[in-house]
Amino acid sequence: MTDRTTYETRRGEGGETHQVTGASAGKQGHGTLTSNQGIPVSDNQNSLKSGRRGPTLLEDFVLREKIFHFDHERIPERIVHARGSAAHGYFELTHSLSDVTSADLFQRVGDKVPVFVRFSTVAGGAGSVDTPRDVRGFAVKFYTREGNWDLVGNNIPVFFIQDAIKFPDLIHAVKMEADRAFPQAASAHGTFWDFVSLMPETTHMLMWAMSDRAIPRSLRTMQGFGIHTFRFVNSEGKSTFVKFHWTPKLGVQSTVWDEALKLQSADNDFHRRDLWEAIASGNFPEWELGVQLFDEEFAASLPYDVLDATKIIPEELLPVKPVGRLVLDRNPDNFFAETEQVAYCPANIVPGIDFTNDPLLQGRLFSYLDTQKSRLGTANFHQLPINAPKCPMHNFQRDGMMQMVVPKGRANYEPNSLDQANEESGPRECPATGFRSFERQTGKEEQGDKLRVRAELFADHYSQARLFWKSLTASEQAHVASAFVFELSKVEFQHVPPRMIANLLNVDKRLGERVAEGLGIDLPDANPCAREPLELEPSPALSIQKNMLETLEGRKIGILIADGTDAAMLDQVTAAVRAAGATAFLVAPKVGSVKLSSGEAIAADGQLAGSPSVLFDALAILLDEKATKKMLSEAAAIQWVMDGFGHLKAIGHTQASLPLLQKAGIEPDEGITGLDAHFLKAAAKRFWEREPKLRSLA
């Protein structure tokens, strides 16, 4: 550790003396350290004192400024989506949408638009972990030629509630409980389930939240959705409804529940680290943007309301049209300045995109703008570099706290008749290119008396929840039922679980029975339905397992080695893994030096005790007989293998390492292979059929 105390006194050319600290003596800095006012600082390690052991002097402006800034360098965290990770990138148009929208970014194939994308959990605070069961935010800021467009969505295409007036109640219920401030980042507690069991409209979203969608393997393997129905408006003023979908290039991947729990202890920053390292290594995450386009006539033909945020339009009924790709290729330079200060707002749209009357969306248009003032302290938050548009910005808004630009011109009002030639009059509106809200004939349901009501079709709370359930594999259904059992087992209010099960019985009778059996309680009667559920056709697109890509691209393979590992085999396995687009991560009992069979000593990437198998997508064990014998008494090695098997991952192994697998209780199946081509094929998937042999599911 460097000695920071003053150790030398030097005399300057004018006879004055000054102190030199151990950290700076004899070294030439990259630049001169200054105060925030640009004043050069001579000593940043010692406060100004009256004598060597005297009191610190109030006149020490360097100390006062440094402490003052430190005391105020935190801002209020977001109420929701506080825990986030982000990256820079671009959106590239691959299919023109000029026929349905005048938005500039959707006109010319090949055009690229800079973006900043933030992923987040919802319930936890900024210091919570990455991998709880939770909805994930998926917010994209497009810096277009016509201004910023913020597409602020989630990794689930529906939401808990239909009307924004219920949003404060939802968040108060799901956040840590008001009197005890726990649990953090979890929905498995009494107030949440008390609320949702009283709100049948939450049922569809609960099915998604209890599914594997809520425990993603990586931010890079999540879908994203705009949730609401928006409008495209073309150059002729014609409107087309649109729903937005992001699909990851690597396919959708999830964890299993036990794996998600163990990831929280293995690496609190697992998702954040994975995103950062992927970009830093050049494995740029990529998504395809797709749109569902439809008109008023199609919307009217559906048995549900497209303005209801708890509903989807199945892809089999209305295919998703690919229109572009999103690539994240640069990590933030500073987490606070960019990831923390970025301010998204659904009201930020550009000409050619417009809103609908979705009551949840309408409330969000107000809420997001309002909350930024509380977080960022000024109405000028849009001038922060991460929020500022990359196109010219001109208006008559002036002054305000933390004004960061110096507006020119005499006029700060409009209209005015000052000299336009000298630019004293300021900017003017442009009817030809400016944003216009969609003009439509008001229907009978959109005029008349002022009413606090919801549209009739909003009362169907179970049809699409049933659709989701029927679309899943048996394995996924077991995960959903088990998640309900786990969550409701944490609820101390005995009247709440039966009420929730009474809602689930309207989704599927057997689902309700399985949850009741898992909790060991009597089966209640089904709750009455405000609107009788419909039998909709299953949508295979909603299943993760039915659509998983069997690929190693973007995945990480843990390779266990030790002294005596066959050097040629290690080279062969790592080369094959990398050729398949995956990362090879070497794990050893000691990281410093592993002596291979060739006599070569290499360093491992991680220590066995600190690199549990939950961090990897598949495992390879390259041990000889001597190393295996040592590992048989090493708990970390046995757990490494046991967890990999329990989390349904492929395990490739040498014949010599077989005793380690046997001690870990591994039963051979298609996912347990040698270290040949069969391993690479197995490593590209999970073995869901293994699960019933390993754990009890509802």
Residue 578 C-beta-side C-alpha neighbours within 13 Å: 10
Look at strands 594-595 and 601-602 and give their pairing: antiparallel
**Does the annotation mark 422 as catalytic?**
no
Nearest one of 618, 587, 621 to 604, comparing CA atoms:
587
Q: Which of 81, 88, 189, 479 is catalytic?
A: 81
Residue 263 token pair: 């990831």
Q: List Cα–Cα distances, 652 to 54, 63, 631, in angstroms.
A: 68, 59, 16
**How many CA atoms lie within 13 Å of 605's alpha carbon, on the beta-carbon side?**
15
**d(C-alpha 115, C-alpha 87), whole Å:** 8
- CB-side neighbour CA atoms (13 Å) of 431: 0
Separation in Å, CA 666 to CA 440, 567, 642, 644, 661: 65, 26, 7, 10, 5
DSSP 351: T
Three-class SS of 534-563:
CCCCCCHHHCCHHHCCCCCCCCEEEEECCC
Catalytic residue among 148, 154, 348, 503: 154
In 3D space, the residue among 148, 146, 226 whose CA is nearest the CA of residue 387 turns out to be 148
In one letter, which amino acid is 259?
E
C-alpha of 359 from chain center: 25
- SS3 per residue for 560-572: ECCCCCCHHHHHH
- Overall size of the chain counted in residues: 698
What Å distances lie between residue 283 and 245, 278, 556, CA to CA? 22, 5, 12
**Among the listed residues 47, 37, 48, 436, the one whose alpha carbon sits nearest the alpha carbon of residue 236:** 436
To the query of whether residue 81 is one of the catalytic residues in this protein, the response is yes
How many of the other CB atoms lie within 10 Å of CB of 143? 20
| Residues known to be catalytic | 81, 154
